[in-house]
Chain A
Amino acid sequence: GNSVTQMEGPVTLSEEAFLTINCTYTATGYPSLFWYVQYPGEGLQLLLKATKADDKGSNKGFEATYRKETTSFHLEKGSVQVSDSAVYFCALRSGEGAQKLVFGQGTRLTINP
């Protein structure tokens, strides 16, 4: 079945540090891949997505590249800010007529000033 494995958290970094949160997946067919973010006290928001191999999703300085050969979709940001502190979820959607998302376990990120 479909599954998503994320880097174990929590992750704590200093402001302006480089961020990588690893995500690998197992899926049938050709999944679409997503990163969602949940800021403290808020709902889940789509951060970025990629729908086919070699696509790069980007938003708010975050990037992730769909790597079919390594079944990965790692999230990166060159210089994190305190406001990036949140829980990040990698997710996929796959299968014929699929609408539901399968989520990774989430990675809690804390950025210290």
Chain B
Amino acid sequence: SAVISQKPSRDICQRGTSLTIQCQVDSQVTMMFWYRQQPGQSLTLIATANQGSEATYESGFVIDKFPISRPNLTFSTLTVSNMSPEDSSIYLCSVVQAVEQYFGPGTRLTVT
């Protein structure tokens, strides 16, 4: 199974600032996924990140707001830009390995 770590685990940020979340996997994976879980809500896919190419964003999410980097097969970052209170959520990194999907512990973001 894949073991995923995320940093930071939580943060409180002021509106208008940006936060970069890091995701590290203990093995090489082709695709990494970033999800958002708003308070009391289900998980929504933000984007899919492949190594060496631009991320593919889901409807309602744009690169200017959520830029993603994927410099190698074990690491990715998601930046939440120009934050507003509506961005307060848990952000989760996820990978697929041997048809199983694994999730990181999440980054709990609060925007004040």
Chain A residues at the B interface, C-beta cutoff of 8 Å: 32, 34, 36, 42-46, 89, 93, 99-106
The interface size bin for chain B is 10 to 19
Residues of A within 8 A of B104 (CB): 43
Q: Report the bound CA distance from A45 to B45 in whole Å.
A: 17
Q: Secondary structure of the A side of the interface?
A: strand
Residues of A within 8 A of B102 (CB): 46
B103 pairs with A44, CB closer than 8 A: yes
Residues of B within 8 A of A102 (CB): 45
Q: Report the bound CA distance from A104 to B106 in whole Å.
A: 18
Q: Report the bound CA distance from A101 to B46 in whole Å.
A: 11
B45 pairs with A42, CB closer than 8 A: no
Given contacts A100-B45, A103-B43, A106-B42, whether A46 and B33 have CB atoms under 8 Å apart is no
